[in-house]
Chain A
């Protein structure tokens, strides 16, 4: 399977704990995006990388959130001191850079904060 993969698929944690999610993009794609989706809403942009450079972060991405893409391949999204409001589906997408690049999404990581 050469699609976007995410791990874990589900994560249940207690408030105040730290969690980390991983995204493996399609191998030849140099752009990687993170989005967050809550129930009944469309995905909202969080941040994106072109190769290893993080080029934009949304205001939704508070100081408790950090994302990395150290070698321009896989990416991690860490949430520190989780809050119940962080409960959501975290989606990763990848693309080849260019105007109007076509983004392909992974299956998502569903986070539940108790």
Chain B
């Protein structure tokens, strides 16, 4: 079993829809939770960063962390075709190397105009 599980999709939604992306994890030692966006054949771009449990909002994006359930989510409001990309959840803070990121598989999102 992987440390971080993420539904690979693909997920297809109409423009303007609310998108919900999720990851579950098994290592309770993770403390830092991130969402990266990756366009095809490009490097990951940091979208959201959250420490411990709680919510964080940035424009159309909201990240939620529920450490008790080992579950994190990213919500995208008013989705746009430019949001079409692969979304990767990532976690760190466990073990000696607290900076090492453990990624989910990535969810491919397509927003149709």
Contact = CB atoms under 8 A, between A and B. Distances in A.
Contacts, number: 73
A41 B106 contact: yes
Contacts of B102: 45
A63 B105 CA distance: 26
Interface residues of A, number: 29
A37 to B, nearest CB: 8
Nearest to B105: A42
B82 to A, nearest CB: 19
Interface stretch (B14-22, B58-66, B70-78, B92-100): B92-100
Contact of A42 (B46, B96, B104): B104
B54 interface: no
A92 B106 CA distance: 18
Interface residues of B, number: 30
A40 B44 contact: no
Interface stretch (A14-22, A79-87, A96-104): A96-104
Contacts of A100: 31-32, 49, 51, 92-93, 98-99
Interface of B: 4, 6, 8, 31-32, 34, 36, 41-46, 49, 51, 88, 90, 92-93, 96-106
11 contacts: A33-B101, A40-B106, A41-B105, A42-B103, A44-B103, A56-B100, A91-B44, A97-B99, A103-B46, A103-B101, A105-B36
Given A99-B98, A100-B98, 19 more contacts: A31-B99, A33-B99, A42-B88, A42-B106, A43-B88, A45-B101, A48-B99, A91-B43, A91-B44, A97-B99, A99-B99, A100-B92, A100-B93, A103-B99, A104-B46, A105-B43, A107-B42, A108-B42, A110-B41
